[in-house]
Amino acid sequence: MTDYNLIFGAVLLFNILVTFRASSYWKKYFPDGVSTSEGGKQEEDPSPLIGGGDKEGESTDLEDGGSKNENTSSAASDAAADIRHSQLLRKYLAVYLLAAFSDWLQGPYVYALYDAYGYSQHDIAVLFVAGFGSSMVFGSFIGGMADQGGRRRFVILFSIIYASSCMTKHFKSFSILMLGRLLGGIATSLLFSVFEAWLIGAHANANVMSHLGKSFSMAQYGNSIVAILAGQIANKAASYAEFKPTSEDSGFYLGGYLGPFDISLISLIICGLLASSLWEENKGESSNDDDSKPGESSATGALKGAFAATIRSPDIYTCGIISSLFEGSMYIFVFMWTPALTALAKEEMGDAFEGLPFGVIFSTFMVCCMAGSSIFSIAMEKMKPEQLAVIVFGVASCAFLMVVFSGSATSTFLAMNLFEMCVGMYFPSMGTMKGMIVPEDKRAAIYNLFRIPLNFIVLFSLLTDLTPRVSFILCGMMMVVATLLQMQLKSRRISA
C-alpha cells in the first residue's frame, strides 16, 4: 500500500532544502559556495604592496584605485537594478498570483458543477470542448490586440471576462453555461499570454532583463503555493452551503459547488483593480519589418504579422512546437493521473480500497513543482536555459517511461512526482527562452499562436477514448520529440 503522507513529507523536506539553497540566505551564509558564473563579479582582496615607494608601486596603486572605483560603481549599479527588480516583481506577483488563484479555485469543480445540474456526460464534454475551442479560435488574434492596445488594459479585460464567466455558473441554462465556457476560453488565452508578455516588457523597460529567469522562477513557485491554498479554500467553500435554487421554479442556483466560483469572482475583481493601480502600461514596440498592411484591422494585421514572424524564424516556431508538446502532455497528465492511480490502487488493495487521498496527492504534486522552480534557480548559476531545458525534457521522457512500465502505485506515483518537478523547471526555462527569442512587438500574439497546436492536442485527448497507459505512451513520445527539438534549438542558440 502506498504511503502518500510519507511521500508528501519527504517531498516537502526536499523542497525546503532546495529552496534554501536557491535563496539569498544560502549566498549570505555560504558565500564560498556561490559560483562565480552567477553574477560574474566576485571581488578578490587586493594583496598589500610591500616597500611601495617606487614609481611602479605608485602606478600599481593608481590602477588598484581605478579598479576599486569601477567595482564600486558596478556594485552600485547592481544594487540599483536589484531594487528595481524587487519593486517590479512585487507588483507583478500581486496581480498574477490573484489571477492564478482564481483559476485554480475553479478547475476541480467545473465538471462537478455541470454534473450537479444534471447534465449528461456528453453535454459536459460538449461544454469542455467549447471552452478549449474558444481558447484556440479567439486566442489566435486576441494576443495581437493586446500587443497593440496595451497589456495592462487586457489584463483588466481578462478580469472582467473571467469574472463574467464565473457569474454564468449560477444559471442552469445550457446556453448560458456555454457562454460561460466561451468566455472562460478567451480568459485562459489571456492568462497564459498577456501576463507573461507584460512581465517581459516591464523587465525591458526597467533594464533588468538579466533578472527575468528569477522572476519566472518566483512566479512558478508562488503559483504552486496558491494552487495548494486554492484547493483547501475551494474544498471548504464547496461544502459551506447547500446547493439549491433561489426558488422552486428558478434556474438561478446558490451554494454547493458554486462557492469556489464566487470566491474566484471576488479574486478577479481585486486582480483587475490592482492591475489598474499598480501596473504601468506597456505595448509591443513597433518594428520596421511589420508584416501587417495599412488598412487591415488591428486583429487581422497583428495575427498575420505574428504568423509571418513565426514562420520566418526557426527558433520561434521550434520554441512554439516544444511548448505545445510539453504543455499538451501536461494537460493529458492532468486528465489521466486520477484514473491511473485509482486503477492501480484497486488492483493492489481489492475490496479494502476506500478511495485515494486526492488532497494529499495534489499537494505533493504542487510541492514538487515548487522544488522544480528552485532547482531551476540553482541550475541557472552554471547553465543557460537552453541547456537546462534539454535535461528537463529528457527527464520528463524517462518519467513517463517509468509510469508506463511501472507495476505498482508507489513507483507510478514517484514517477509522476518526477514529472511534476520537470513542470516546475519547465515554466521558468521556457519563459526565459521565449523572452529572448520572441520579438517584443508581437509577443502576446505569438504566444497565443503557440497555444493553437496545444489546444489541438487537448481536444484530441478529450474526443478520443484513450486508456491512461496509451495516453502516457503518447506523452512520452511527445517528450522525446521535444528533447530532440530542444537539442537543435540549443545548438543554434549557443553557437550563434
pLDDT tens per residue across span 356-385? 888 889 999 999 999 999 999 999 989 999
| 333 neighbors 368 (Cβ within 8 angstroms) | no
| 208 neighbors 88 (Cβ within 8 angstroms) | yes
Pair type for strands 244-245 and 253-254: antiparallel
**Collapsing DSSP states into helix, strand and coil, what is residue 252?**
strand
**Quick one: pLDDT at residue 299?**
65
Residue 273, all three cell numbers = 483593480
CA dist., res. 401 & res. 412, Å (int): 10
pLDDT(402) > 90:
yes
> What angle (nearest 5°) sits at the alpha carbon of residue 14, between those of residues 11 and 17?
155
Per-residue pLDDT tens over the stretch 67-76: 556 666 677 7
CA dist., res. 428 & res. 220, Å (int): 7
**Collapsing DSSP states into helix, strand and coil, what is residue 236?**
helix
pTM of the shown model = 0.82
pLDDT band for position 53 (cuts 50, 70, 90): very low
**Quick one: pLDDT at residue 66?**
57
| Average pLDDT over every residue of 25-49 | 53
pLDDT band for position 294 (cuts 50, 70, 90): very low
**Quick one: pLDDT at residue 67?**
58
Angle at which helix 443-463 crosses helix 298-312, to 10 degrees, equals: 80
| 337 neighbors 400 (Cβ within 8 angstroms) | no
| Average pLDDT over every residue of 449-454 | 89
Query: Would you tell me how many other CB atoms lie within 10 Å of the CB of residue 217?
Result: 26
| 207 neighbors 81 (Cβ within 8 angstroms) | yes
pLDDT band for position 461 (cuts 50, 70, 90): confident
Closest to 340 (Cα-Cα) out of 407, 423, 288: 407
CA dist., res. 220 & res. 430, Å (int): 12
Residue 459, all three cell numbers = 481536444
User: 42-51, 232-241, 263-272, 428-437: lowest mean pLDDT where?
Assistant: 42-51
pLDDT(60) > 90:
no
